[in-house]
Homo-oligomer: A and B are copies of this chain.
Amino acid sequence: MATNMQKSTAVLLIHCPDKQGLLALVTEFINKNNGNVLYLDQHVDRQEKLFYMRVEWDLEDFEIPKNKIADYFTTLIAHKNEMTFEIHFSEEKPRMAIFVSKISHCLYDLLARYTAGEWNVEIPFIISNHPDMAEVAERFGIDYHIFPINKSNKDELEPKEIALLKEHKIDFIVLARYMQIISDEFITHFPNRIINIHHSFLPAFVGAKPYHAAHERGVKIIGATSHYVTTELDAGPIIKQEVTHISHKDTVTDLIRKGRDLEKIVLSKAVSKHIDRKLLVYNNRTVVFS
């Protein structure tokens, strides 16, 4: 769905216990107040009896002022129906920080898209535990902050990172092959707002060196998985996965090379969905709206 970026639009993301008439209720709220629905996708999990919805509408003739929509919606609909919801406006550009270590392919892919204007996002800076990617950041004119984090100094340096992220009002973080485990404390500051790329088709090959493990096991496909980071390693809600076929001819080096193309595409697709507010998380799974 391509949305006209010039238009001022609102996006509403909803989840709640399912019951009859929820869809009609929400669309009526928009229609009666003269909002033109541009996009609507909903999902009902019948097993869990949960309702999920994303609706986007044109604000041009909408009769409720932008800053009062959340209030009205809470009172008139959300409260009565036990809804959890978020509302976003097209003018708000989410602010994204990239974390990187020594590997460049995901970083280049993110920055190329950003620079080409593919995404409605602001990237104020890159954070790294190594100096290696400073040169790439410089090519694209983006600030590069080094926090040489390791196990022993993590307790000391992470609060400084968090402070920097808060100061710059960072909304979400993309780990572009960042090779350092983030503490549980750090994650609590960005719940479902840290996107990682893991170089295997999870849940196979959790942890370090998945291509070595894949080669050892003799699999005929390898994959990459983007997911939100939770406190359990490589076990967060999966956003996107892709795979490619391999053969007995492929060495570990070949897998690493072939995997790079998967990783960068999968990570960027997950980032796109996040920027477009098309992701909802529940029960450690994602709803990915079309």
Interface, chain A (partner B; CB < 8 A): 1-2, 20-21, 23-24, 27-28, 31, 36-38, 40, 42-43, 45-47, 52, 104-105, 108-109, 112-113, 115-116, 118, 139-140, 201-205, 217-221, 223, 237-243, 245, 247-249, 251, 253-254, 257, 261, 265, 268-269, 283-288, 290
**Which residue in chain B gives the minimum CB-CB distance to A34?**
B20
Copies in the complex: 4
A242: chain B residues within 8 A (beta carbon): 221
> Contact between B37 and A40 (Cβ–Cβ < 8 Å)?
no
CB of A251 to closest CB in B, whole Å: 5
Give every chain B residue within 8 A of A241 (Cβ-Cβ).
219-221
16 chain-A/chain-B pairs, Cβ below 8 angstroms? A1-B249, A2-B251, A2-B253, A24-B27, A24-B28, A24-B31, A40-B42, A43-B249, A104-B116, A109-B112, A202-B204, A220-B239, A220-B288, A247-B290, A249-B290, A261-B268
Determine how close the nearest CB of chain B comes to the CB of A280; give it in whole angstroms: 9
Residues of chain B lying within 8 A (CB to CB) of residue A253: 2
Is the beta-carbon distance between B40 and A23 smaller than 8 angstroms?
A: yes
Q: How far is A275 from B249 in the complex, measured between Cα atoms in Å?
A: 19
Say whether B37 contacts A31, CB under 8 Å: no
Contact flag A203-B217 (CB < 8 Å), given A21-B27, A24-B27, A287-B248: yes
- With the chains together, A24 CA to B52 CA distance in Å? 16
Are A203 and B204 neighbours in the complex by a CB distance under 8 Å?
Answer: yes
Ranked 5 nearest A-B pairs via Cβ: A218-B285, A108-B112, A2-B253, A204-B204, A24-B27
For A31, what are the chain B residues with a Cβ–Cβ distance below 8 Å?
Answer: 20-21, 24
Contacting pair B238 A218 (CB below 8 A): yes
Q: Contact partner of A261 among B139, B240, B265, CB < 8 A? A: B265
A249 to B218 Cα, complex, angstroms: 24
B248, A286: Cβ atoms closer than 8 Å:
yes
A116 touching B108, Cβ below 8 Å = yes
Determine whether the beta carbon of B284 is less than 8 Å from that of A218. yes
Among candidates B42, B105, B265, B283, residue contacting A112 with C-beta atoms closer than 8 Å: B105
Rounded to whole angstroms, the CA-CA distance of A109 and B104 in the bound complex is 12
State in angstroms the CA–CA spacing of A77 and B194 once bound together: 46
Contacts of A2 in B (CB 8 A): 251, 253-254, 257
The complex places the Cα of A268 from the Cα of B112 at a distance, in Å, of 15
Whether A217 lies near B238 (C-beta < 8 A) is: yes
Chain B residues lying within 8 Å of A249, measured Cβ to Cβ, are 1, 43, 290
A65 → B minimal CB distance (Å): 20
Neighbouring B residues of A254 by C-beta, 8 Å: 1-2
- The answer to whether B248 and A219 have CB atoms under 8 Å apart is no
